Amino acid sequence: MRQFDFAPLYRSTVGFDRLFSMLDAAGNAENAQSYPPYNIERTGETTYRITMAVAGFSETELSIESRENTLTVKGEKGDETNGSSEYLYRGIAGRAFERRFQLAEHVEVKGASLKNGLLHIDLARIVPEALKPRRIEIATANTNEAKTIEASAA
């Protein structure tokens, strides 16, 4: 795949450095982490769910942190070395992982649950009233009434 040089754009733009960094990272997809597998689904008009396959991990071995539009999920297995067993084949991955998701503005984590080896993280987009579109009535020239400003749900 071709590599694009965004250096000229860094010199002529202000405040878009995060966007160009994300484009650089997207270009390096061959280095992307593939464990653990996950799904992102839309469960409603403003609700989403991330489902991760974390078989073999308990609640105490997983941590979820949301900070500055980044959701980080970490998994770290404890030391399970038993002197009594020897693996002939080990196909169930139990390695530590860290997966990061970039969240859009106003997306909040509402909760998480672990069931049958699947970690479900529920998200919701909550737009503040000040940023919702407003309907502004236009007064006619014949009336001296004040303009009506009315908030409407997005």
pLDDT, tens digit, for every residue of 57-92?
Answer: 889 999 999 998 899 999 998 766 555 678 788 777
Query: Residue 52: what pLDDT?
Result: 94
Tell me what percent of the residues of the chain surpass a pLDDT of 70. 66
Which of the four pLDDT bands, split at 50, 70 and 90, describes residue 105?
confident
Residue range(s) of every CATH 2.60.40.790 domain in the chain? 34-125
**Other residues' Cβ atoms within 10 Å of the Cβ of residue 20:** 15
Tell me which of 152 and 143 has the higher pLDDT.
152
**Other residues' Cβ atoms within 10 Å of the Cβ of residue 88:** 5
The CATH number of 34-125, from 3.40.50.300, 3.50.50.60, 2.60.40.790, 2.40.30.10, is 2.60.40.790
pLDDT in tens, 6-41: 666 666 556 666 666 666 666 565 555 678 889 999
pLDDT(119) > 60:
yes
Tell me which of 8 and 127 has the higher pLDDT.
127
pLDDT(132) > 60:
yes
Tell me what percent of the residues of the chain surpass a pLDDT of 90. 29
Q: Which amino acid type is present at position 137?
A: E
Q: What is the mean pLDDT of residues 83-107?
A: 82
Residue 21 CA to residue 19 CA, distance in Å, equals 5
Contacts of 83 (CB under 8 A, 6+ apart): none
Residue 68 CA to residue 45 CA, distance in Å, equals 23
Query: Residue 26: what pLDDT?
Result: 63
Query: Residue 4: what pLDDT?
Result: 66
The strand pairing partners of 123, in sequence order, are 48, 109
Query: Residue 137: what pLDDT?
Result: 86
Tell me which of 109 and 23 has the higher pLDDT.
109
